[in-house]
Structure 1
Amino acid sequence: MAVIAHYIDDFWTLQCRLMRFIYVPAPHIAVVISEVLVECLMDWNIDRKLSTLTLDNCSTNDAMIERILDKISPRSFILSGKFFHMRCCAHILNLIVKDGLSIISNAIEKVRESVHYWTTTPKREKKFMKTRGQLNIPYDKKLVIDCKTRWNSTFLMFDVAILYKDVFGRLVQCKPQYKSLPSEYDWEMAKEICHRLELFYGVTKLFSASSKMRLGMEIPSMLEDNDVDDENA
């Protein structure tokens, strides 16, 4: 378990420090995790300086918060613990996107299979880039295969693969073994998915920023820009 502290220094710059990286023995239940975390807070003498504790959105963490509040009085916290338990926005966003992608997994698979085929060996990668050059496609990004458990990697895979749609179409004519060419419908779905994921990807990067304190201002702006794009589509 990693315990990370975020705080604002004297120059109003958001700082981030890894306080402790702890091995937590199984079972990873609320009782065990809460004891380890409280011990860490006490060791660093910050149990009376906390404002919030940000955690992944799961029932174990909910139970852990209750146990921590039994050990440390809420009066010790900033604002009497009013905002003590904060659910990680990036984790919630991750759950939302994964749930959505599971519904349209078939549309993703064809593009994934194609990218996987042309990134399996250096020889295929070389052939792919050679064909790109023959078609005078003005991009030099390499294909990237995604990790199925990381939706942001799926966005990056689509973002590059869409640029080379014509290359895939050309290669299917000269490589009989290549049998996973996405259909026009698959490509349209890929573009739509990529467009939607781009918003979530941008918001996740804002959530993960280590030196900015303008999320409340920037996220509404991103959402407004996306609404404009939808209206113009």
Structure 2
Amino acid sequence: MSVTAHYIDDSWVLQHRILRFVYVPAPRTMDVLAKKMIESLTQWNIETKMSTITIDNCSSNDGMIRLVQKKLSNELLLQGKLVHMRCCAHILNLIVKDNLSIIEGSIETIRDNVSFWYASPSRVEKFEDVARQLKISCTKKLALDYKT
């Protein structure tokens, strides 16, 4: 787990700092996550200055937020109402994955074709030769994408 602080400095400039990388042993239950989060906050003496936690969407993280809020409720800003922000990047990733599954077969066919043409230098040469014959600009190379 990484703990990053975002804050506005005295000059009203948004700052961010990585405070800690924490090894969280399995099983990563909400109790274990909450304990590690509270340890991280108290190590930096910021448990009373925190107003928001942004995490990805999983049930153990939801439970962790509730436990942290309960444990620190008397010390938190905003009358103990910890604002739980869901990670937009994680949500966007879930949406994209869900929609890409619709065209998964087509994507796999394209990957197979790219793999075929770049399996050997002679195939690359043949591909480029055919592109020239068809008067297709071939200035960029084919590249396999990464599923992530």
The TM-score normalised by the length of structure 2 is: 0.84
Maintained 8 Å contact 2:72/2:80: no
> Is the counterpart of residue 79 in structure 1 residue 78 in structure 2?
yes
**What's the RMSD between the two structures over aligned residues?**
2.3
Structure-1 separation of matches of 2:110 and 2:95: 22
Give secondary structure in 2 for the equivalent of 1:3: strand
Structure-1 separation of matches of 2:124 and 2:14: 42
* Residues 70/83 of structure 1: CA separation in 2 closer, same or farther (3 Å cut): closer
Structure-1 separation of matches of 2:6 and 2:119: 41
* Residues 126/67 of structure 1: CA separation in 2 closer, same or farther (3 Å cut): farther
The residue number in structure 2 matching 1:3 is 3
Maintained 8 Å contact 1:3/1:18: yes
Maintained 8 Å contact 2:30/2:63: yes
Maintained 8 Å contact 1:52/1:83: yes
Aligned-pair CA distance for 1:78: 3.1
Q: Which amino acid aligns with 1:76?
A: E
Give secondary structure in 1 for the equivalent of 2:28: coil
More strand by share: 2
Aligned-pair CA distance for 1:117: 2.2
The TM-score normalised by the length of structure 1 is: 0.56
More helix by share: 1
* Residues 17/144 of structure 1: CA separation in 2 closer, same or farther (3 Å cut): farther
The residue number in structure 2 matching 1:13 is 13
Structure 1 stretches of 4+ with a deviation exceeding 6 A read: none
The residue number in structure 1 matching 2:94 is 95
Structure-1 separation of matches of 2:132 and 2:48: 62
Aligned-pair CA distance for 1:10: 3.0
The residue number in structure 1 matching 2:110 is 111
The residue number in structure 2 matching 1:144 is 143
Maintained 8 Å contact 1:52/1:81: no
* Residues 37/136 of structure 1: CA separation in 2 closer, same or farther (3 Å cut): same
The residue number in structure 1 matching 2:58 is 58
Structure-1 separation of matches of 2:7 and 2:127: 48
Structure-1 separation of matches of 2:25 and 2:4: 19
Q: How many residues align?
A: 147
Aligned-pair CA distance for 1:122: 5.1
Give secondary structure in 2 for the equivalent of 1:15: strand
Aligned-pair CA distance for 1:22: 1.4
The residue number in structure 2 matching 1:39 is 39
Structure 2: tracts of 5 or more residues without a match = none
Give secondary structure in 2 for the equivalent of 1:20: strand
Give secondary structure in 2 for the equivalent of 1:48: coil
* Residues 116/35 of structure 1: CA separation in 2 closer, same or farther (3 Å cut): same
The residue number in structure 2 matching 1:223 is none
Higher relative contact order (CA 8 A, sep 6+): 1
Give secondary structure in 1 for the equivalent of 2:16: strand
Aligned-pair CA distance for 1:86: 0.7
